[in-house]
A and B are shown apart, each in its own frame.
Chain A
């Protein structure tokens, strides 16, 4: 069992949890993810690692309660435990293995969309801790979906916030913000790391291809085991089939077939809808195990 030692509400149905998982905390790096299975009957849910504390043995996850499973996950409180928590899975960010001189010479822009801000956070933190200054864009539809701005400011050189409706920061989507930085503010970048919804990563990749900036994206397909044994998470990169869970999750955004990935993400849409309905209408959903009586 893996105990939740801290739970924090960040914004609009977005939660942060520190989970006690010493083996994961000891060996994980930015860019990797974990799979959480809440209880006996739960499904395996992939979540990107947002932070980690090797001494305390904790790993931080951030999730938005959108589907039936994440809604149940949001009901877990500090002191309760998840049945299964496995990781770190996937490859660590390539930046970590780059030559320091080469990395130093690069100007990097991280682009975070909504809850995708969580996986961007540990990369930005790692960069600062290792002596590299980077810029970050945090974008969302409106201010209620913007998270981790203050935390990000501790580590980033510049943090730019933008919202589609202008309710916080720059008015416009992340692409408008990128264009504003490059075209109006005289910024130039050698690398963009974009993490967020598929549609956002797709359009950032189209823009950066025009601008001639190499771009890394973190893919979030349907997963089951997360260790390479099933291929549920397969996607096409540069014409080749890859498994996101072992070959990724990070890939060259200019080579990913986003349209195919977006279709594959819809595969279980009606099942998910049914589960949410069951959850809203039924009164039988109690997550078991802790014996505290809460649900």
Chain B
């Protein structure tokens, strides 16, 4: 097949009408022939800009070069040097604003599909039973990692490769953090992709102890003083949901996106053979415009509801990935933009019966350059819904910072840590990911986990 160098090899997807009724993965990914064709579009730049766009600096031209040759196993080993979770990142990274935004091909045509190629390589490796290269021996030095999300898994993987004895402590009953409880099955399959990437980290010698809430079951100080750990990495994320504090918000049928997604993804409420229930709703309003809002909306749709996204700014201000917004629209999600909730209407049984909203218009750009929405007078109206999902963002849980002596946080409860090496105000304690930055992306958390692993190595070698 002749390849048009200006255009990407298209990726196969489930049809919108079909996928809107199931939880199977939307994007089917490349097969080997498609991947090798797409790989030929890479110009193999000497001074590759795409690498600079990747928060963990994967040697992109090298792995794509191996894909082009058909040596997928070697392509996988190249990626594995930099990333512990390629099957995840190939799926959920916002490549359009990272690696692919820097691709030279993107100047005249479409950038190389780096994310889809990474995903193909990682999926191929899993299907062919190839694991990342494990370390030879451990050095006997124990490091504790708090949280098994992307930051913790990456930090643990890097330290294990360097010979440290790593134990991850996870509060929930499954490892993975947002990969397990937050991002839905139709974007990130749990059994095939997430579970097997976690197995890969374990195969490096990392131990994972679930059901341990640091700050309650034990503390960082106890890990350092009583359990023989020489350093600690805090990758506990930003899992505390925000609410709007409007009337009616405690009504039955109002969920945080975290609760709605946890019931579905972690507890598998959509599958009747699991015990956890969910109130799917018939007509659902999702408040917010980020990736989490898209995930919650598309989940509600798959549970059979008519779904409205209610967002106070316009389409171009939506913080969600372009691909996710596109998918949501294809599936039939209704976007009520420039609309802001004022109140949740509650019936006499305590259930949601509607949401009172007001129309907005964008005012002058503020100091940060963003145009703030202002209410249009007299535009209040009620949308009839039976379920409201609040997706307004999250902040770090104060549990760890409040139970660790000498660990400084800023006014948003984010742990203060050095960006270069993850060092916190407390000696031997490092931190990274959403616990430090507030809610961000999977790949930034992985970058922070990587930087902290280096920081911990330097600290322990002193």
Contacts and interface: CB of A to CB of B under 8 A. Distances in A.
Interface of A: 23-24, 26-27, 37, 41-44, 68-69, 83-89, 224-225, 227-232, 234-236, 241, 246, 260, 263-264, 266-268, 271-272, 275
A58 B136 CA distance: 39
B336 to A, nearest CB: 23
B105 interface: no
B267 A43 contact: yes
12 contacts: A23-B212, A27-B217, A37-B173, A43-B275, A83-B173, A87-B216, A88-B217, A227-B213, A229-B239, A232-B255, A264-B252, A275-B275
B356 to A, nearest CB: 19
B13 to A, nearest CB: 30
B250 interface: yes
Interface in B98-125: none
Contacts of A232: 255-256, 259
B240 A272 contact: no
Contact of B213 (A26, A86, A272): A86
Interface string B184-212: 00000000000000000000000000111
Given A41-B275, A85-B211, A228 B240 contact: yes
A41 B275 CA distance: 6
Given A27-B216, A228-B397, A263 B241 contact: no
Interface centre among A26, A231, A235, A266 (most CB of B within 10 A): A231
Interface string B271-285: 001111101000000
Contact of A263 (B277, B349, B399): B349
Contacts of B394: 229
Contact of B243 (A26, A89, A231, A272): A231
Interface centre among A89, A224, A246 (most CB of B within 10 A): A224
A235 B241 CA distance: 15
B276 to A, nearest CB: 4
B397 A230 contact: no
DSSP class of A's interface residues: helix, strand, loop or mixed? mixed
Nearest to B390: A231
A235 B173 CA distance: 25
A216 B338 CA distance: 45
A43 B213 contact: no
Contact of A229 (B217, B252, B258, B350): B258
A231 B210 contact: no
A42 B269 CA distance: 10
B81 to A, nearest CB: 33
Nearest to A34: B211
B126 interface: no
Given A227-B397, A231-B259, A272-B277, A267 B267 contact: no
Contact of A86 (B217, B268, B279): B217
B243 A42 contact: no
Given A228-B239, A229-B258, A266 B252 contact: yes
A268 B277 contact: yes
A263 B346 CA distance: 12
Contacts of A27: 216-218
A224 B279 CA distance: 14
Given A37-B173, A227-B171, A264-B250, A88 B216 contact: yes
Contact of B240 (A37, A229, A235, A236): A229
Nearest to B348: A263
A193 B215 CA distance: 26
B195 to A, nearest CB: 13
A275 B277 CA distance: 9
B250 A236 contact: yes
Given A43-B275, A83-B173, A231-B241, A224 B267 contact: yes
Given A263-B349, A267-B252, A275-B275, A224 B397 contact: no
Nearest to A261: B250
A271 B350 CA distance: 17
